[in-house]
Structure 1
Amino acid sequence: MNTHIFNKQNSLFNQFIAEIRDKEIQTDPLRFRRNIERMGEILAYEISKELNYRSIDIQTPLGVSHEFVHDENVVIATILRAGLPLHQGVLNYFDGAENCFVSAYRKYNEKGDFDIHIEYISSPSLDDKIVILTDPMLASGASMELAYKAILTKGTPKHIHIASIIASEEGVDYVQRNMASDNISLWIGAVDKELNEKKYIIPGLGDAGDLAFGRKL
Protein backbone atom coordinates (compact mmCIF):
# COMPACT_ATOMS: atom_id res chain seq x y z
CA MET A 1 0.00 0.00 0.00
CA ASN A 2 1.42 3.36 -1.04
CA THR A 3 0.93 5.99 1.67
CA HIS A 4 1.18 9.74 1.01
CA ILE A 5 1.28 12.19 3.95
CA PHE A 6 0.96 15.80 2.86
CA ASN A 7 2.25 17.76 5.86
CA LYS A 8 5.64 16.07 5.67
CA GLN A 9 6.44 18.91 3.29
CA ASN A 10 5.38 22.53 3.35
CA SER A 11 2.52 23.54 1.08
CA LEU A 12 -0.70 25.57 1.06
CA PHE A 13 -2.44 22.41 2.28
CA ASN A 14 -0.96 23.05 5.73
CA GLN A 15 -2.66 26.45 5.94
CA PHE A 16 -6.06 24.82 5.50
CA ILE A 17 -5.24 22.17 8.13
CA ALA A 18 -4.26 24.93 10.57
CA GLU A 19 -7.57 26.72 9.97
CA ILE A 20 -9.86 23.70 10.36
CA ARG A 21 -8.12 22.83 13.66
CA ASP A 22 -8.47 26.36 15.10
CA LYS A 23 -11.36 26.43 17.59
CA GLU A 24 -12.01 30.12 16.87
CA ILE A 25 -12.20 29.67 13.10
CA GLN A 26 -14.34 26.57 13.64
CA THR A 27 -17.20 28.78 14.82
CA ASP A 28 -17.85 29.57 11.13
CA PRO A 29 -19.33 26.38 9.57
CA LEU A 30 -19.24 27.83 6.07
CA ARG A 31 -15.51 28.47 6.29
CA PHE A 32 -14.94 25.02 7.80
CA ARG A 33 -16.82 23.31 4.95
CA ARG A 34 -15.07 25.40 2.32
CA ASN A 35 -11.62 24.59 3.70
CA ILE A 36 -12.44 20.87 3.69
CA GLU A 37 -13.69 21.26 0.13
CA ARG A 38 -10.49 23.02 -0.96
CA MET A 39 -8.40 20.24 0.56
CA GLY A 40 -10.51 17.78 -1.40
CA GLU A 41 -9.56 19.66 -4.56
CA ILE A 42 -5.86 19.39 -3.69
CA LEU A 43 -6.21 15.69 -2.95
CA ALA A 44 -7.99 15.19 -6.28
CA TYR A 45 -5.17 16.97 -8.13
CA GLU A 46 -2.50 14.81 -6.48
CA ILE A 47 -4.43 11.59 -7.04
CA SER A 48 -4.90 12.54 -10.70
CA LYS A 49 -1.14 12.13 -11.20
CA GLU A 50 -1.54 8.39 -10.56
CA LEU A 51 -4.11 7.77 -13.31
CA ASN A 52 -3.62 6.49 -16.83
CA TYR A 53 -3.79 9.05 -19.65
CA ARG A 54 -4.46 9.02 -23.36
CA SER A 55 -3.65 11.45 -26.14
CA ILE A 56 -6.41 13.39 -27.91
CA ASP A 57 -6.46 16.00 -30.65
CA ILE A 58 -8.25 19.27 -29.90
CA GLN A 59 -9.28 21.57 -32.73
CA THR A 60 -8.62 25.19 -31.77
CA PRO A 61 -9.60 28.22 -33.89
CA LEU A 62 -6.04 28.23 -35.25
CA GLY A 63 -5.01 24.59 -35.49
CA VAL A 64 -4.84 21.24 -33.74
CA SER A 65 -3.47 20.79 -30.20
CA HIS A 66 -2.33 17.41 -28.91
CA GLU A 67 -3.38 16.98 -25.25
CA PHE A 68 -3.41 14.21 -22.66
CA VAL A 69 -6.53 13.47 -20.61
CA HIS A 70 -7.09 10.77 -18.01
CA ASP A 71 -8.48 7.53 -19.36
CA GLU A 72 -10.21 6.16 -16.27
CA ASN A 73 -13.75 5.69 -15.00
CA VAL A 74 -13.73 7.38 -11.59
CA VAL A 75 -16.18 6.83 -8.74
CA ILE A 76 -16.03 9.09 -5.68
CA ALA A 77 -17.23 7.26 -2.56
CA THR A 78 -18.01 9.05 0.69
CA ILE A 79 -18.85 8.08 4.25
CA LEU A 80 -21.85 10.15 5.35
CA ARG A 81 -22.27 12.77 6.69
CA ALA A 82 -18.88 14.24 7.56
CA GLY A 83 -17.43 13.28 4.19
CA LEU A 84 -19.75 15.46 2.10
CA PRO A 85 -17.57 18.62 1.87
CA LEU A 86 -14.50 16.52 1.08
CA HIS A 87 -16.50 14.61 -1.52
CA GLN A 88 -17.57 17.87 -3.14
CA GLY A 89 -13.97 19.07 -3.35
CA VAL A 90 -12.89 15.90 -5.17
CA LEU A 91 -15.96 16.10 -7.41
CA ASN A 92 -15.06 19.70 -8.34
CA TYR A 93 -12.01 18.33 -10.15
CA PHE A 94 -13.38 14.97 -11.32
CA ASP A 95 -16.58 16.58 -12.50
CA GLY A 96 -17.55 13.64 -14.72
CA ALA A 97 -17.18 11.06 -11.94
CA GLU A 98 -19.87 8.72 -10.71
CA ASN A 99 -20.73 8.82 -7.02
CA CYS A 100 -21.15 6.36 -4.15
CA PHE A 101 -22.45 7.07 -0.62
CA VAL A 102 -22.07 4.91 2.48
CA SER A 103 -23.80 5.54 5.79
CA ALA A 104 -21.62 4.52 8.75
CA TYR A 105 -22.34 5.48 12.33
CA ARG A 106 -21.29 4.76 15.90
CA LYS A 107 -23.89 2.84 17.93
CA TYR A 108 -23.19 3.41 21.62
CA ASN A 109 -24.19 1.08 24.45
CA GLU A 110 -24.96 1.89 28.09
CA LYS A 111 -21.28 1.64 29.06
CA GLY A 112 -20.32 4.28 26.52
CA ASP A 113 -18.64 1.78 24.20
CA PHE A 114 -19.70 1.63 20.56
CA ASP A 115 -19.74 -0.49 17.43
CA ILE A 116 -19.58 0.80 13.87
CA HIS A 117 -22.65 0.04 11.77
CA ILE A 118 -23.13 0.33 8.00
CA GLU A 119 -26.77 1.15 7.36
CA TYR A 120 -27.02 2.23 3.73
CA ILE A 121 -25.05 2.24 0.48
CA SER A 122 -25.89 3.82 -2.86
CA SER A 123 -23.41 3.00 -5.61
CA PRO A 124 -22.95 2.30 -9.31
CA SER A 125 -21.05 -0.78 -10.43
CA LEU A 126 -17.42 -0.45 -9.34
CA ASP A 127 -15.99 -3.11 -11.63
CA ASP A 128 -12.64 -2.03 -13.14
CA LYS A 129 -13.10 1.58 -11.97
CA ILE A 130 -10.94 3.96 -9.95
CA VAL A 131 -12.56 4.53 -6.56
CA ILE A 132 -11.67 7.53 -4.40
CA LEU A 133 -12.98 6.74 -0.90
CA THR A 134 -13.17 9.91 1.19
CA ASP A 135 -13.62 10.55 4.91
CA PRO A 136 -12.07 13.60 6.59
CA MET A 137 -11.09 11.75 9.77
CA LEU A 138 -9.33 8.38 9.95
CA ALA A 139 -9.50 7.61 13.67
CA SER A 140 -9.42 3.92 14.61
CA GLY A 141 -9.76 2.77 11.00
CA ALA A 142 -12.76 0.52 11.78
CA SER A 143 -15.36 2.58 9.89
CA MET A 144 -13.03 2.86 6.88
CA GLU A 145 -12.58 -0.91 6.77
CA LEU A 146 -16.34 -1.50 6.98
CA ALA A 147 -17.00 1.09 4.25
CA TYR A 148 -14.34 -0.59 2.12
CA LYS A 149 -15.99 -3.98 2.57
CA ALA A 150 -19.40 -2.47 1.80
CA ILE A 151 -18.32 -0.91 -1.48
CA LEU A 152 -16.72 -4.18 -2.58
CA THR A 153 -20.24 -5.65 -2.70
CA LYS A 154 -20.78 -3.35 -5.70
CA GLY A 155 -17.91 -4.69 -7.79
CA THR A 156 -14.15 -5.10 -8.00
CA PRO A 157 -12.39 -1.72 -8.48
CA LYS A 158 -9.26 -1.35 -10.54
CA HIS A 159 -7.71 0.74 -7.77
CA ILE A 160 -8.90 2.38 -4.54
CA HIS A 161 -7.54 5.69 -3.28
CA ILE A 162 -8.41 6.33 0.39
CA ALA A 163 -8.33 10.07 1.13
CA SER A 164 -8.52 11.64 4.62
CA ILE A 165 -7.56 15.01 6.06
CA ILE A 166 -6.43 13.98 9.55
CA ALA A 167 -5.57 10.47 10.75
CA SER A 168 -4.26 8.90 13.92
CA GLU A 169 -1.17 6.73 13.90
CA GLU A 170 -3.38 3.88 15.10
CA GLY A 171 -5.80 4.42 12.21
CA VAL A 172 -3.05 4.46 9.60
CA ASP A 173 -1.50 1.31 11.08
CA TYR A 174 -4.93 -0.38 11.14
CA VAL A 175 -5.65 0.37 7.48
CA GLN A 176 -2.16 -0.66 6.38
CA ARG A 177 -2.49 -3.92 8.33
CA ASN A 178 -6.09 -4.90 7.56
CA MET A 179 -6.52 -3.51 4.06
CA ALA A 180 -3.05 -4.23 2.69
CA SER A 181 -3.20 -4.48 -1.09
CA ASP A 182 -1.24 -3.34 -4.11
CA ASN A 183 -4.40 -1.76 -5.52
CA ILE A 184 -5.01 0.54 -2.53
CA SER A 185 -3.30 3.89 -1.93
CA LEU A 186 -3.63 6.01 1.20
CA TRP A 187 -3.63 9.83 1.07
CA ILE A 188 -3.48 11.69 4.41
CA GLY A 189 -3.16 15.39 5.19
CA ALA A 190 -1.68 15.01 8.68
CA VAL A 191 -1.10 12.18 11.16
CA ASP A 192 -1.66 12.73 14.91
CA LYS A 193 -0.26 10.45 17.60
CA GLU A 194 -3.19 9.76 19.92
CA LEU A 195 -6.78 8.61 20.23
CA ASN A 196 -8.74 9.38 23.40
CA GLU A 197 -11.02 6.92 25.20
CA LYS A 198 -13.89 7.83 22.85
CA LYS A 199 -11.70 7.18 19.79
CA TYR A 200 -11.41 10.84 18.81
CA ILE A 201 -8.10 11.95 17.35
CA ILE A 202 -5.90 14.10 19.63
CA PRO A 203 -5.23 16.94 18.93
CA GLY A 204 -7.40 16.36 15.85
CA LEU A 205 -10.14 18.94 15.38
CA GLY A 206 -13.27 17.56 17.06
CA ASP A 207 -16.30 16.10 15.29
CA ALA A 208 -16.01 17.00 11.59
CA GLY A 209 -19.67 16.28 10.90
CA ASP A 210 -20.88 18.54 13.71
CA LEU A 211 -18.49 21.32 12.69
CA ALA A 212 -19.68 21.17 9.09
CA PHE A 213 -23.42 20.67 9.61
CA GLY A 214 -24.31 21.32 13.25
CA ARG A 215 -24.62 19.09 16.29
CA LYS A 216 -26.82 16.00 16.16
CA LEU A 217 -28.97 14.50 18.91
Structure 2
Amino acid sequence: MLCFETICVENRQLKNLSYHDARLNKTRQELWGYDDRWDLKALLEIPESVDESLHKCRVAYSKDIDNIKWEPYSPRTIRKIRLVYHDEIDYQYKYDNRDSLNALYAQRGDADEILIIKKGLVTDSNFCNVAFFDGNRWLTPASPLLPGTQRALLLDEGIIEAAEIHESDIATFSQIRLFNAMVDWANAATLDVSLIA
Protein backbone atom coordinates (compact mmCIF):
# COMPACT_ATOMS: atom_id res chain seq x y z
CA MET A 1 0.00 0.00 0.00
CA LEU A 2 1.34 3.39 -1.03
CA CYS A 3 0.37 6.94 -0.11
CA PHE A 4 1.41 10.07 -1.93
CA GLU A 5 1.86 13.82 -1.67
CA THR A 6 1.13 16.24 -4.50
CA ILE A 7 3.29 19.33 -4.15
CA CYS A 8 2.86 22.51 -6.16
CA VAL A 9 6.00 23.77 -7.89
CA GLU A 10 5.80 27.41 -8.97
CA ASN A 11 8.76 29.37 -10.33
CA ARG A 12 10.85 26.29 -9.48
CA GLN A 13 9.87 26.64 -5.81
CA LEU A 14 8.19 23.87 -3.79
CA LYS A 15 5.17 25.37 -2.02
CA ASN A 16 3.79 24.74 1.49
CA LEU A 17 6.41 22.09 2.26
CA SER A 18 5.94 22.28 6.04
CA TYR A 19 2.30 21.18 5.61
CA HIS A 20 3.29 18.32 3.29
CA ASP A 21 6.03 17.26 5.73
CA ALA A 22 3.52 17.24 8.60
CA ARG A 23 0.95 15.12 6.75
CA LEU A 24 3.50 12.72 5.27
CA ASN A 25 5.18 12.11 8.63
CA LYS A 26 1.82 11.72 10.40
CA THR A 27 0.74 9.19 7.75
CA ARG A 28 3.98 7.18 8.00
CA GLN A 29 3.71 7.08 11.80
CA GLU A 30 0.00 6.19 11.97
CA LEU A 31 -0.16 3.68 9.10
CA TRP A 32 3.21 1.96 9.44
CA GLY A 33 4.64 2.99 12.82
CA TYR A 34 7.71 4.83 11.46
CA ASP A 35 9.02 7.47 13.84
CA ASP A 36 11.78 8.90 11.65
CA ARG A 37 10.97 12.35 10.29
CA TRP A 38 11.31 13.14 6.60
CA ASP A 39 12.22 16.58 5.35
CA LEU A 40 10.96 16.86 1.78
CA LYS A 41 13.13 19.88 1.05
CA ALA A 42 16.19 17.72 1.66
CA LEU A 43 14.77 14.75 -0.28
CA LEU A 44 13.55 16.53 -3.42
CA GLU A 45 15.74 18.02 -6.10
CA ILE A 46 13.87 19.89 -8.83
CA PRO A 47 15.02 18.55 -12.20
CA GLU A 48 16.26 20.86 -14.97
CA SER A 49 13.23 19.89 -17.08
CA VAL A 50 10.94 21.81 -14.68
CA ASP A 51 10.71 25.41 -15.86
CA GLU A 52 9.12 28.49 -14.23
CA SER A 53 5.55 27.44 -15.10
CA LEU A 54 3.24 25.60 -12.71
CA HIS A 55 4.28 21.98 -12.15
CA LYS A 56 3.11 19.12 -9.99
CA CYS A 57 5.51 16.98 -7.98
CA ARG A 58 3.96 13.65 -6.99
CA VAL A 59 5.82 11.68 -4.31
CA ALA A 60 4.57 8.11 -3.75
CA TYR A 61 5.85 6.46 -0.58
CA SER A 62 5.47 3.90 2.22
CA LYS A 63 8.54 3.06 4.29
CA ASP A 64 10.67 4.61 1.56
CA ILE A 65 9.97 6.80 -1.45
CA ASP A 66 8.59 4.55 -4.19
CA ASN A 67 8.66 7.07 -7.04
CA ILE A 68 8.69 10.80 -7.79
CA LYS A 69 6.99 12.31 -10.84
CA TRP A 70 7.29 15.88 -12.12
CA GLU A 71 4.79 17.13 -14.69
CA PRO A 72 3.29 20.42 -15.95
CA TYR A 73 -0.03 21.32 -14.36
CA SER A 74 -3.12 22.73 -16.05
CA PRO A 75 -6.12 23.57 -13.84
CA ARG A 76 -9.41 21.87 -14.64
CA THR A 77 -12.49 23.86 -15.57
CA ILE A 78 -15.40 23.29 -13.18
CA ARG A 79 -18.82 24.53 -14.28
CA LYS A 80 -21.20 22.09 -12.60
CA ILE A 81 -21.05 19.81 -9.54
CA ARG A 82 -22.97 16.60 -8.91
CA LEU A 83 -23.90 15.39 -5.42
CA VAL A 84 -22.90 11.77 -4.81
CA TYR A 85 -23.42 9.63 -1.72
CA HIS A 86 -21.31 7.07 0.15
CA ASP A 87 -21.70 6.49 3.89
CA GLU A 88 -18.67 4.20 4.31
CA ILE A 89 -15.98 5.82 2.17
CA ASP A 90 -12.64 6.21 3.97
CA TYR A 91 -9.88 8.39 2.53
CA GLN A 92 -8.36 9.84 5.69
CA TYR A 93 -4.89 9.16 4.30
CA LYS A 94 -3.82 10.17 0.79
CA TYR A 95 -3.84 6.63 -0.58
CA ASP A 96 -2.35 5.92 -3.99
CA ASN A 97 -5.33 3.62 -4.61
CA ARG A 98 -8.27 5.91 -5.43
CA ASP A 99 -10.68 3.23 -6.70
CA SER A 100 -13.49 4.20 -4.30
CA LEU A 101 -13.19 7.89 -5.27
CA ASN A 102 -12.99 7.03 -8.97
CA ALA A 103 -16.21 5.00 -8.69
CA LEU A 104 -17.99 8.02 -7.20
CA TYR A 105 -16.50 10.33 -9.83
CA ALA A 106 -17.93 8.03 -12.51
CA GLN A 107 -21.41 9.00 -11.24
CA ARG A 108 -20.95 12.69 -12.19
CA GLY A 109 -23.01 12.47 -15.40
CA ASP A 110 -22.78 15.80 -17.25
CA ALA A 111 -21.09 17.55 -14.31
CA ASP A 112 -17.37 18.36 -14.14
CA GLU A 113 -16.90 17.50 -10.47
CA ILE A 114 -18.60 15.72 -7.58
CA LEU A 115 -19.39 16.69 -3.99
CA ILE A 116 -19.35 13.68 -1.68
CA ILE A 117 -22.02 13.39 1.02
CA LYS A 118 -21.21 10.96 3.85
CA LYS A 119 -23.94 10.23 6.41
CA GLY A 120 -25.69 13.48 5.56
CA LEU A 121 -22.56 15.62 5.88
CA VAL A 122 -20.67 17.44 3.14
CA THR A 123 -17.08 16.20 2.84
CA ASP A 124 -14.92 16.89 -0.25
CA SER A 125 -14.98 16.87 -4.02
CA ASN A 126 -13.01 14.25 -5.94
CA PHE A 127 -9.72 16.19 -5.90
CA CYS A 128 -10.43 19.22 -3.70
CA ASN A 129 -11.45 20.41 -0.29
CA VAL A 130 -14.34 22.84 -0.41
CA ALA A 131 -15.58 25.96 1.39
CA PHE A 132 -18.96 27.68 1.34
CA PHE A 133 -19.65 31.41 1.60
CA ASP A 134 -22.48 32.49 3.91
CA GLY A 135 -22.25 36.18 2.98
CA ASN A 136 -19.77 36.83 5.76
CA ARG A 137 -17.44 33.86 6.23
CA TRP A 138 -16.04 30.97 4.24
CA LEU A 139 -16.83 27.68 6.02
CA THR A 140 -15.15 24.36 5.25
CA PRO A 141 -16.52 20.98 6.34
CA ALA A 142 -15.18 20.01 9.77
CA SER A 143 -14.98 16.35 8.67
CA PRO A 144 -13.37 16.24 5.23
CA LEU A 145 -12.48 12.90 3.68
CA LEU A 146 -8.88 14.13 3.52
CA PRO A 147 -7.56 17.13 5.47
CA GLY A 148 -5.67 18.88 2.68
CA THR A 149 -2.47 20.87 3.01
CA GLN A 150 -4.01 23.99 1.44
CA ARG A 151 -7.00 23.59 3.79
CA ALA A 152 -4.62 23.47 6.79
CA LEU A 153 -2.85 26.62 5.60
CA LEU A 154 -6.14 28.50 5.06
CA LEU A 155 -7.41 27.47 8.50
CA ASP A 156 -4.15 28.61 10.11
CA GLU A 157 -4.38 31.95 8.31
CA GLY A 158 -8.02 32.45 9.34
CA ILE A 159 -9.24 32.66 5.73
CA ILE A 160 -11.66 29.75 6.27
CA GLU A 161 -13.32 28.30 9.36
CA ALA A 162 -14.28 24.68 10.01
CA ALA A 163 -17.96 23.89 10.60
CA GLU A 164 -20.25 20.89 10.38
CA ILE A 165 -22.08 21.30 7.07
CA HIS A 166 -25.10 19.10 6.30
CA GLU A 167 -26.36 18.48 2.80
CA SER A 168 -29.46 20.45 3.75
CA ASP A 169 -27.26 23.48 4.57
CA ILE A 170 -25.92 23.85 1.02
CA ALA A 171 -28.86 25.96 -0.15
CA THR A 172 -28.26 28.48 2.67
CA PHE A 173 -24.89 29.46 1.15
CA SER A 174 -24.27 31.61 -1.92
CA GLN A 175 -21.02 30.15 -3.27
CA ILE A 176 -18.76 27.11 -3.14
CA ARG A 177 -15.00 27.26 -3.70
CA LEU A 178 -12.81 24.25 -4.55
CA PHE A 179 -9.10 24.25 -3.66
CA ASN A 180 -6.18 21.89 -3.11
CA ALA A 181 -2.39 21.85 -3.03
CA MET A 182 -2.27 22.73 -6.73
CA VAL A 183 -5.08 25.29 -6.68
CA ASP A 184 -4.50 28.04 -4.14
CA TRP A 185 -7.28 30.20 -2.69
CA ALA A 186 -6.84 33.07 -5.13
CA ASN A 187 -7.13 30.80 -8.16
CA ALA A 188 -9.74 28.35 -6.86
CA ALA A 189 -12.89 27.67 -8.87
CA THR A 190 -15.80 29.55 -7.28
CA LEU A 191 -19.36 28.60 -8.29
CA ASP A 192 -22.84 29.64 -7.31
CA VAL A 193 -24.40 26.89 -5.18
CA SER A 194 -27.22 26.64 -7.75
CA LEU A 195 -24.67 24.80 -9.91
CA ILE A 196 -24.61 21.91 -7.42
CA ALA A 197 -27.21 19.33 -8.41
What is the TM-score when the length of structure 2 is the normalising length?
Answer: 0.26
- Which protein is bigger by CA-based radius of gyration? 1
Higher relative contact order (CA 8 A, sep 6+): 1
- Higher share in helix: 1
